[in-house]
Chains A and B, each alone.
Chain A
Amino acid sequence: QVQLVESGGGVVQPGGSLRLSCAASGFIFSNYVMHWVRQAPGKGLEWVACIRYDGTKEYYADSVKGRFTISRDNSKSTLYLQMNSLRTEDTAVYYCSKDRLATTVTYSENWGQGTLVTVSS
């Protein structure tokens, strides 16, 4: 079955950097759009970014554009989120998710368990 396992979360100071990873299994990773979605403590869901199946196109939320970079290594079935210039408001659980469809950005059909990122001095 589809499995998504995030890692790389932790505590970082404002202005610092962190790279999240999402190891995928149980499906053909290279065929699907992948997403990052975050949830601040006690708050709702916020879509962060997504990347096409072949890595040729990325899309970002305005709140992270220019600071975060989504990427993927299809040979390793792994999704990444490089987070730079972190702010306290980036504190959240970060989920990776697999899209329903192979080549079009649509709905998050499967989700990982999430990894917590805390930005604090």
Chain B
Amino acid sequence: DIQMTQSPSSVSASVGDRVTITCRASQPISSWLAWYQQKPGKAPKLLIYAASTLQSGVPSRFSGSGSGTDFTLTISSLQPEDFATYFCQQVNYFPLTFGGGTKVGIK
């Protein structure tokens, strides 16, 4: 199975900060990667797919990059509503697998 390793597992940041989360796949997955945002008690929300394509309705402060094994999610200027947990997911191989998550908290 493809292992997805996210780092850091948690980060504390302030409103307006630039936040970067990384996701590494144990094997190359081309660009078959998504990023999801999840708030407590809520279902996940698709932010980015195909590594860098912004899902409709998602603010442009979110961006994704990478291909192969190394991927990045960047929030250019953190807003209060962005405090949440973020997960990456590969869909290149079965079984589909998620990273362990990165919790973005308030500094």
* Residues of chain A at the chain B interface (Cβ within 8 Å): 37, 44-47, 50, 59-62, 95, 100, 105-114
Shortest C-beta distance, A49 to chain B (Å), equals 9
Contact-residue size bin, chain B (C-beta under 8 Å from the other chain): 20 to 34
In the complex, the number of residue pairs spanning A and B with C-beta atoms less than 8 Å apart equals 55
**CB-nearest residue of chain A to B91:** A106
Nearest first, the 9 A-B pairs at minimum CB distance are: A111-B43, A47-B96, A45-B98, A107-B34, A107-B49, A61-B95, A44-B101, A59-B94, A44-B100
Q: Does B45 contact A (CB under 8 A)?
A: yes
* Interface contacts beyond A44-B101, A45-B101, A108-B34: sample of 17 additional A-B pairs, CB < 8 Å, sorted by A: A44-B87, A45-B44, A45-B89, A46-B98, A47-B95, A47-B96, A59-B94, A61-B95, A95-B43, A95-B44, A100-B46, A100-B49, A106-B91, A108-B89, A109-B55, A111-B45, A114-B43
Does B81 sit within 8 A of A, measured CB to CB? Answer: no
* B106 CB → nearest A CB, Å: 19
| Distance of A110 Cα from B100 Cα, bound (Å) | 21
Does residue B67 face the partner (Cβ distance < 8 Å to A)?
A: no
Contacts of A95 in B (CB 8 A): 43-44
| Smallest beta-carbon distance B55→chain A, Å | 7
**Are the C-beta atoms of B98 and A44 separated by less than 8 Å?**
yes
User: Is B99 located at the chain interface by the 8 A CB criterion?
Assistant: yes
A residues within 8 A CB of B95? 47, 59-62
Contact A47 B89 (CB under 8 A): yes
Asked whether, in the complex, the Cβ of B87 is within 8 Å of the Cβ of A105, the reply is no
Alpha-carbon gap, A37 to B96, bound state (A): 10
Q: B97 in the interface, Cβ–Cβ < 8 Å?
A: yes
Task: Give the shortest distance, in Å, between A80 (CB) and chain B (any CB).
Answer: 19
Tell which of A47, A60, A62, A109 touches B98, judged by Cβ atoms closer than 8 Å.
A47
